[in-house]
Amino acid sequence: MEEHGKKLNMLNIFGLGLGGAIGTGIFVLLGYGIAYTGRSIVLVCVGGCLFMLLAYMYNVIMSSMFVFEGGDYSQKALLFNPLMTGFSATMALVNSMAMSSYALAIVNYISAVFPGVGPYTRPAAVFIMTLFFASTLRGSRFITLLENAMTLVLIAAIALFVFFGLPQIRPDYFSNADGGFFHGGFGGFISAIAIMGWACQGTTMAPVSMVAVTNKPKRTVPLAILWITLALAGIYGLMSIVAAGVLPYDQVAGVNLGATAKAIFPNSIYIMFVLGGGVFAIATSLLGGIAMFRYPLMKIAEDGWLPPVFKKTTRNGFPWVIQLAFYLLSVLPILLGFSLDSIISLVMIPSMLMNVYLNMACITLPKKYPEQWKKCALRMPVPLYNVICILSAACAGIVAFNLFKDLKGKDIIASILILAVCGGFSLFRIYTGAVKKEFLEENKKAIIIQALADDEA
């Protein structure tokens, strides 16, 4: 596909990527990270951004070798075998469960201002999910108008939080009092990195999706990802210092930023932060996710990974079966009483296991595509490259393991069940011929032909 007009430069990619990376996860999960590791949450946030960059290293490696119009989707299609392709496709449905974490987070923030909502968290979260899903019935065009506003609100809220909070850091910040550095030991520190991975993982997503419309993409995109990661680490580091350093540990562990915000802001600004910052940022992410998530699900249905009924649409083309399934999966964790951190873990564990596979699969690229490797912006001695791939796979594996070991009872069962269902369903669709291996191989060849055609000299 030929792209007309001026292509994106380093500054464009940096701005787009940083805006996408600063997500609602930091508003939702920071308190959970503090619960695991106390004030060393600052090291978790700074190191976690670099750690998660390694966990997604396949994004960086492949964008330095190929020009994929399909971004992350095409990268996975190239690296996966048929079974893993099906596993990834099925996981797209499972990932929809993460939407429930946004609804629960919205209720938690609203409860900080209106405590009477607290006892009705579950029905309120289901109501929010229902309302937001219903709002997509007439189309999602207006959602794009909120994207820039969302980023501005996020940045403004974070700037206020840091500006008001830093002067109020407790004098015993570096003491060994309860909730001090490495509160939960080394294990707690690693667990905090794992749970904060949801907030720190977005540095590669937007840049990789823009490879085909970027000037000198094989150099610009990997370098932009590095700068985005460093900037995100600085922003999250400052936020974490305030979140863990203003109030005692027992008042901030396991809760959202509302507790610290109430302590540092005058009441009027506090209400603006909670409703205009926390709630608005989460709400727009939830709405955008609901509106945009159906498109990859439609592609998955068209490729045969889902039964034919999932391709049904209304007269206006609205994919009502997919959207209904999406809605039911989104409210299921709320109805079953899963906590915010449990929901994130259930989604992150399979994703990180796929990243283990993807990072290891990158080891084969220099041998399979020697010409692309010669022109790779990250070219290095192959033994060093192999070490980096193995280290990256290990980082993803560590996140998956630590999320799994911290699960409780029904969460462990749910996690194992999700992995079994995704793998089993993938095998079933291939075995029954609903998806043919020949189709997958042809699709992979088409992606390579396109990538090589768009590749710069």
Write down the mean pLDDT value for the chain. Answer: 80
Q: What is the pLDDT of residue 185?
A: 85
For the stretch 22-75, pLDDT in tens is: 766 777 788 888 988 888 899 998 888 888 888 888 888 888 887 776 666 677
The tokens of 246 are what? 């203003």
Task: Please list the ranges in the chain whose pLDDT falls under 70.
Answer: 1-6, 16, 19-20, 23-24, 69-73, 136-151, 206, 209, 212, 284-285, 288-289, 291-296, 317, 340-341, 450-457
Q: What is the pLDDT of residue 84?
A: 82
User: At a CB cut-off of 8 Å and minimum separation 6, what does 248 contact?
Assistant: 178, 179
Gap between the Cα atoms of 199 and 196, Å rounded: 5
The C-alpha torsion from 391 through 396 and 399 to 400, rounded to 10°, is -130
Q: What is the pLDDT of residue 4?
A: 44
- Which candidate, 340, 134, 154, 319, places its Cα nearest to that of 235? 154
Q: Is 21 exposed, middle or buried (0-12, 13-18, 19+ CB in 10 A)?
A: buried
For the chain, the structural domain boundaries read 27-92+168-256+300-448
User: At a CB cut-off of 8 Å and minimum separation 6, what does 69 contact?
Assistant: 1, 211, 212, 450, 451, 454
Gap between the Cα atoms of 10 and 89, Å rounded: 32
What is the homologous superfamily of the domain 27-92+168-256+300-448 according to CATH? Amino acid/polyamine transporter I (1.20.1740.10)
Q: What is the pLDDT of residue 147?
A: 55
Question: Residues of the chain with pLDDT > 70: what percent?
Answer: 86
Residue 311 corresponds to which amino acid? Answer: K
Gap between the Cα atoms of 430 and 428, Å rounded: 5
pTM score, whole prediction: 0.76
Q: With contact defined as beta carbons under 8 Å apart, do 53 and 352 qualify?
A: no
- Which candidate, 233, 279, 232, 229, places its Cα nearest to that of 113? 279
